[in-house]
Amino acid sequence: MTGVTCRCISRAHLPWLVIILAATLLFPSVSSGETNTAFVGVVGDTVPPAPVTSLIASDRKYDNGEAIDLTWVPSIDDRLLHGKVIGYRIYRSENGGEYKKVGDAGKGDSQFSDETVSHGNRYVYYVVAVGPGGQAESIHTAPIIAEREWINFNRKYLFLIGLIIAGSVVYFIETARRGKKLFIRRIAGLEAVDEAIGRATEMGRPILFISGTQDMDNVQTIAGITILGHVARTIADYDTKIRMPVSRSLVMTAARETIKTSYLAAGRPDAYSDDMVNYVTDEQFGYVAAVNGIMVREKPATCFYLGAFFAESLIMAETGYSIGAIQIAGTAMPTQLPFFVVACDFTLIGEELFAASAYLSNEPKQLGSLKGQDVGKAIALAVMIIGTIAVTVGQSWNIDLMNNIADWLNSVFKTN
């Protein structure tokens, strides 16, 4: 009876046993090991990630006490790519107060810079690893204070370049004092100053000098007044008349003192008069109308426009051209230079205006300063050329040496 029963069960379940055996042979990857792994992955979503380790807070070097840098070793779950870490949150306590969130860091990050601190306050930090299963808080850092530094040694190369430029200025000043001739590029407009004054003397007509429309706080106005000193000295020697209408009262005072000093130096104090310089108005086009009236009525033989100009430049230059005057202009305003170049005989472009005083006076201190600045410009030009070549070659052909040179130059001359 028992044997019969066993044979009946075997026959009834034989098809199912064959199906199970076939499925096992066809899909061998479906095993108990993989089933357990999948199960663990599902359960893992409810488990918080491991916290970060080795959290360190350090004061940023060579700053003004305005930043603290944090570094840590990322969570082991972040490093093993389990997907259990989606980012980090940084919390801070100030002077023992409540902890507040100050920033976030992305997955895989191991550092954070807190640039919202204040000098003299005490700070404590901790980092929270955030994942689908929750959060894990790290240990707290030791209290830290953001300190100010007297010297930023990250800028030591700029300091060295400054020393080179300053040393060059001193060297060229001493060289000029010893009587050695310093080479300065020829500037046609400045060489024509004496000729233009001589022409006015021969024609018996006055000289018109305009120092711009800005006040004495503008460096271009100061440059124009400086050139006025040389022009007035020559005018005193030639016994020529000068007219100088101004649009600022302080410019009037400075111009009168400059011309008076030049006449005294020329031994002609009796020929000086305050009427040589007169104030007109601060209003831009009212001033231009007055200057144009002087040009048309008195027909000066020479017109100087040296200073800061705006829309009035074209009006005055065209009027001077219409009366046949020799015109020498100079400004550092890029938008006005085209008008002067077209309508004037000579134009001082940009820094030529500022170099004019040294060019005309040949005074050792001014010449030395001018040559020292040229050394600085040469250094800047060399750096730009080398940097351009390094960036172009490094990016085009992926040459690490050139990329490193470009990065180093950027770090050396970075000013912010």
DSSP 101-135: EEEEE-TT--EEEE----TT-EEEEEEEEEETTEE
Q: pLDDT tens across 317-362, in order? A: 999 999 999 999 999 999 999 999 999 999 999 999 999 988 888 8
Residue 16's pLDDT is 58
Beta bridge partners of 134: 131
Residue 141's pLDDT is 96
Residue 47 has pLDDT above 80, yes or no: yes
Q: Under CATH, which number does the domain 53-145 receive?
A: 2.60.40.10
CB 332, CB 340: distance < 8 Å: no
Beta bridge partners of 137: 128
Token pair recorded at residue 328 = 């020498």
193-344: which CATH topology? Rossmann fold (3.40.50)
CB 49, CB 129: distance < 8 Å: yes
CB 263, CB 240: distance < 8 Å: no
Residue 162's pLDDT is 92
Residue 17's pLDDT is 57
Buried b (16+ CB within 10 A) or exposed e, 126-161: bbbbbbebeebebeebeebebeeeeeeeebeeeeeb
Q: pLDDT tens across 131-159, in order? A: 988 899 999 999 999 999 888 888 888 89
CB 132, CB 84: distance < 8 Å: yes
The pLDDT of 23-30, averaged and rounded, is 51
Question: What pLDDT band is residue 11 in, cutting at 50, 70 and 90?
Answer: low
Residue 39's pLDDT is 30
Beta bridge partners of 303: 208, 327
129 — phi, psi (to 5°)? Answer: -85, 125
Residue 15 has pLDDT above 80, yes or no: no
Domain residues of the chain, as ranges?
53-145, 193-344
Beta bridge partners of 279: 246
Where is pLDDT greater, at 152 or 397? 397
Q: pLDDT tens across 66-114, in order? A: 999 999 999 998 887 667 899 999 999 999 999 999 999 999 999 999 9
Q: pLDDT tens across 276-289, in order? A: 999 999 999 999 99
